[in-house]
Structure 1
Amino acid sequence: MTSLQQTIAGLVEARSDKIVATLSDLVRFPSVVKSNPKEAGPGERDCQLYLQKRLEKLGFTTDLWDPDGPALYAKYEGRPGANKGRTFEGRPNLGGTLAGIGGGRSIMLTGHIDVVPPGAIDHWATDPFDPVLKEGFLHGRGTVDMKGGVACMLMAVEILKELKVPLSGDIVFTTVVDEEIGGMGSLAMVDRGFKADAGIMTEPTGNKIAPLCHGILWGKIIIDGIGGHAELTPNAWYSSGPVDAVQLCRQMLDGIDILNRRWMFDPRKNHPLMDLPNQIIVTQMSAGEHPSSMAGRAEIIIDAQYLPSEKDEFGLGGKVKREIEEHVRHVCQADPYLRAHPARVEWILDADCAEIPADSSFIGIFQNAVETADLDPVLSGFGAHSDIGLPTGLGNTPTVNFGPGDPALSHQPNERVSVRDLIDCTKAIALAIEEWCR
């Protein structure tokens, strides 16, 4: 470790209280994203205004703007990040640039400040928006996903500025909204022109470098039965009914299990950096109209994963959609009723994915920085979706995931991140910026 690296690492340790205080400030903003964007409160804007003031104090030139959702959708329809119906009035994105002295490589630090709703408050031991430091962990909604990472990337820059570390390359800093509902905030950020020679997205990875994330498909499998009295002897079910949509659901769920078992051993569905093969996960179900009536209709909501190698010509999951649709048709062929009245799939969301080559120059430098921070430099896959595909693909900014906290705690009640993780993440990012942008 050089003397400068030692100085950077030492100051990060000395500023641990400020790192925690910064994250606490961010958590106090209830920046909850909503399915209906018009129901969003002021929390997203207030959080961005706070960050803007911190950036401007450091010398950043900033840009705070409400994206034009309909215009973006019209421009990028059918492409990654373009989601119909998203609006952003009063829900701004924030971008800023801190100019280097010139001649060096630039870096983009990026993350989202929107969080999912906290859910049932009685499942929380603390107020989700009143951060509590307890036994080395900061508790609160967004501490892991992903205000913890945003706090780290901000503090990494502040510490480099405090030390007056000379950097040749620019630092680009962006925080977006709407990530938790499809990623249109990141699309707006890239469309605005924010880019760099490399990027770090501080999604929670347990402080492991993740140059790969999954693509995600949300779909609705709709099954139409025939309603009827649940307690009376039915007519021949194949003629006038009733036909129990719940029973048909069981057959469809069995069919999904079969496809998942097939994917376990399919090399196209596995990646050496991923812990698990691609899966189709049933996340929601609804069926039935009345307690004494057989269900006349059922819906199964699925969350399906795909890898960058499976992307279609638009950079999305069209090939995997068709694979799932074909399997649903095969399941229907096994049942006389479904053969005549097949289930159908409606697609709700297609969130893209990306992979940065492990031998890229930035990966090597970032691994050096992580190792200098006494962290494991071994690469890992990010099993969930993140927005790295948008700056990587559309913005020509090869971007990796790296952030504090156990990703399994994302979206859970009693979400919490360790102070040690925050310190180590801040240290690794600061060291990476110094080496990459020098």
Structure 2
Amino acid sequence: MDSLEQNIAKRVEERTDRIVETLSDLVRFPSIVLSDPTKAGPGERDCQLYLQQRLEALGFTTDLWEPDGPALYEKYKGRPGANKGRTFVGRPNLGGVLRGNGSGRSIMLNGHIDVVPPSAAEHWKTEPFTPVLQDGKLYGRGSVDMKGGVTCMLMAIEVLKELGVPLSGDVVFTTVVDEEIGGMGSLAMVDRGFKADAGIMTEPTANRIAPLCHGVVWGRIVIDGIGGHAELTPRAWYEAGPVDAIQLCRQMLDGIDILNRRWMTDPRKMHPLMDMPNQIMVTQMQAGEHPASTAGRAEIVIDAQYLPSEKDEFGLGGHVKREIEEHIAFVCQADPYLRAHPARIEWILDADCAEVPAEHPFVQTMQGACAATGLSPVLAGFGPHSDIGLPSGLGETPTINFGPGDPTQAHQANEHLAVSDLVECTKAIAIAVARWCA
């Protein structure tokens, strides 16, 4: 680490209180993404206005806008990030540009400010949107996913400005909404024209460089049974039932387990940077109409992963969808009722994935910055989905995931982030920007 980078690291440590204060400010905004994507979360706009003010104080030219969801959908229908029914009234995106002298490479720092609902209050030891600093950790909804990363982005640039570090390339700063329900905010950001020579999306990776993320498809498996009195001896299904949809669910869940076991040893479902092969996770179930009635209908919601090597011609998970559809059809063939009344799958969402090659110059720059700050330069996969596919693909901005915090804390009650992670991440981002944009 040269003297400039030593000064950067030292200044970041000196600004620890300011870093914690910034994350605390962000956590206080209840920028919840609502299940109804036509409605604004209570704190989304206010959070973006706060960040806009901070950016403008640093000399950024900013752009705060509410995307036109229906127009975006029509423009990109069938492509990554295009989700029907989204509106952005009261849910603005924010972009800013800090101009370099024009002779260097540019970088985009990107994050999302929407957070998932905090879940049941009794599961929390603190108020979800009241930041609490305890034992070197900051507690609050969004601290890990991903306002901690947004804090590091902002503070890295603030430190570089305080030190007067000259940058030849532009710094592009973008914070989006809608990430937690499909990524149309990132699509709107790319469509707006925000791009750079390389990018960092500060999703929580435990301060590891993750140039790869999964794609995901969400689907709803619908099983139609025949309702009837649960306490009577049932007739045969071909004599008008009843047929218990919950019992059929058990068969379908067994079938999903069989496919998961097959994927565990399928090389197409594995990547050397990923800890586990792709899997299908059952995330929601709904069945039954009355305590004394056999269920006439059941729904199983699944979340299935795919890799960049499995993308279809549209950059999405069409191949994996067909694979799951064919397997469900086979499961139905094993049961006489389902053979006559097969389950059907309704696809809810398809969120794309991306991979930046290990030999890309920015990946190597980031590895050098991590090594300089004592963080591991070893590359890792990011198991959950993130939006890096949209800037990397459509936006032509090769983007990696790199951010503070244990990703398993995301969406959990008592979500918390170690202050030391914040500080080390801020150092690495600041040094990476100084190296890349110099």
Match of 1:302 in 2: 302
Q: Post-superposition shift, 1:39? A: 3.5
Q: Counterparts of 2:236 and 2:205 in 1: how far apart (Å)?
A: 55
Q: Counterparts of 2:226 and 2:42 in 1: how far apart (Å)?
A: 46
Match of 1:154 in 2: 154
Q: Counterparts of 1:286 and 1:363 in 2: how far apart (Å)?
A: 44
What's the secondary structure of 1:223's corresponding residue? strand
Task: Point out the more displaced range, 29-38 or 120-129.
Answer: 29-38
Q: Post-superposition shift, 1:40? A: 2.4
Match of 1:226 in 2: 226
String of CA shifts for 1:228-256, please: whole Å, max 9, x gaps.
11111122223310111111110000000
Match of 1:196 in 2: 196
Matches within 5 A, 1:208-357: 208-357=208-357
Q: Is the 8 A contact 2:263 2:279 kept in 1?
A: yes
Q: Counterparts of 1:246 and 1:437 in 2: how far apart (Å)?
A: 58
Distance 1:103 1:144, change over 3 A: same
Q: What is the letter of the counterpart of residue 228 of structure 2?
A: G
Match of 2:176 in 1: 176
What's the secondary structure of 1:18's corresponding residue? helix
Match of 2:18 in 1: 18
String of CA shifts for 1:137-158, please: whole Å, max 9, x gaps.
0000000000000000000000
Q: Post-superposition shift, 1:102? A: 1.7
Q: What is the letter of the counterpart of residue 191 of structure 1?
A: D
Q: What is the letter of the counterpart of residue 351 of structure 1?
A: A
String of CA shifts for 1:76-120, please: whole Å, max 9, x gaps.
010000000110011100000000012100000000000000011
Q: Counterparts of 1:235 and 1:131 in 2: how far apart (Å)?
A: 59
String of CA shifts for 1:364-385, please: whole Å, max 9, x gaps.
0110001101000100000000
Mark the runs of 5 or more structure 2 residues left unpaired by the alignment.
none
Matched, 1:130 2:130: yes
Q: Counterparts of 1:228 and 1:48 in 2: how far apart (Å)?
A: 53
Q: Post-superposition shift, 1:279? A: 0.3
Match of 1:404 in 2: 404
Q: Counterparts of 2:136 and 2:375 in 1: how far apart (Å)?
A: 18
Q: Post-superposition shift, 1:122? A: 1.2
Q: Counterparts of 2:205 and 2:317 in 1: how far apart (Å)?
A: 24
Q: What is the letter of the counterpart of residue 408 of structure 2?
A: A
Match of 1:365 in 2: 365
Q: Is the 8 A contact 2:39 2:87 kept in 1?
A: no
What's the secondary structure of 1:210's corresponding residue? strand
What's the secondary structure of 1:384's corresponding residue? strand
Q: Is the 8 A contact 2:220 2:299 kept in 1?
A: yes
Q: Counterparts of 1:135 and 1:96 in 2: how far apart (Å)?
A: 35
Task: Point out the more displaced range, 238-247 or 337-346.
Answer: 238-247
Q: Counterparts of 1:124 and 1:285 in 2: how far apart (Å)?
A: 25
Q: Counterparts of 1:236 and 1:165 in 2: how far apart (Å)?
A: 79
Match of 1:28 in 2: 28
After TM superposition, the score normalised by the length of structure 2 is 0.99
Q: What is the letter of the counterpart of residue 240 of structure 1?
A: A
Matched, 1:104 2:96: no
Task: Point out the more displaced range, 28-37 or 319-328.
Answer: 28-37
Distance 1:437 1:319, change over 3 A: same
Q: Counterparts of 1:128 and 1:228 in 2: how far apart (Å)?
A: 44
What's the secondary structure of 1:13's corresponding residue? helix
Q: Is the 8 A contact 2:38 2:85 kept in 1?
A: no
Match of 1:7 in 2: 7
Q: Counterparts of 1:436 and 1:313 in 2: how far apart (Å)?
A: 33
Match of 2:65 in 1: 65
Q: Counterparts of 1:26 and 1:118 in 2: how far apart (Å)?
A: 15
Q: Please, what is the CA RMSD of the aligned residues?
A: 0.7
Q: Percent identity?
A: 77
The count of aligned residue pairs is: 438
String of CA shifts for 1:268-307, please: whole Å, max 9, x gaps.
0011100111000000111111111111111000000000
String of CA shifts for 1:407-431, please: whole Å, max 9, x gaps.
0000000000000000000000000
Q: Counterparts of 1:233 and 1:198 in 2: how far apart (Å)?
A: 66
Q: Is the 8 A contact 2:16 2:423 kept in 1?
A: yes
Matched, 1:414 2:414: yes
Q: Post-superposition shift, 1:36? A: 1.1
Mark the runs of 5 or more structure 1 residues left unpaired by the alignment.
none
Match of 1:74 in 2: 74
String of CA shifts for 1:50-99, please: whole Å, max 9, x gaps.
00011001100000000000000010010000000110011100000000
What's the secondary structure of 1:285's corresponding residue? strand
Q: Which runs of 4+ in 1 moved over 6 A?
A: none
Q: Post-superposition shift, 1:35? A: 1.6
Match of 2:113 in 1: 113
What's the secondary structure of 2:433's corresponding residue? helix
Q: What is the letter of the counterpart of residue 266 of structure 1?
A: D
Q: Counterparts of 1:150 and 1:391 in 2: how far apart (Å)?
A: 17
Q: Counterparts of 2:41 and 2:186 in 1: how far apart (Å)?
A: 20
After TM superposition, the score normalised by the length of structure 1 is 0.99
Q: Counterparts of 2:105 and 2:349 in 1: how far apart (Å)?
A: 35
Q: Counterparts of 1:135 and 1:389 in 2: how far apart (Å)?
A: 36
Q: Post-superposition shift, 1:41? A: 3.7
What's the secondary structure of 1:37's corresponding residue? coil
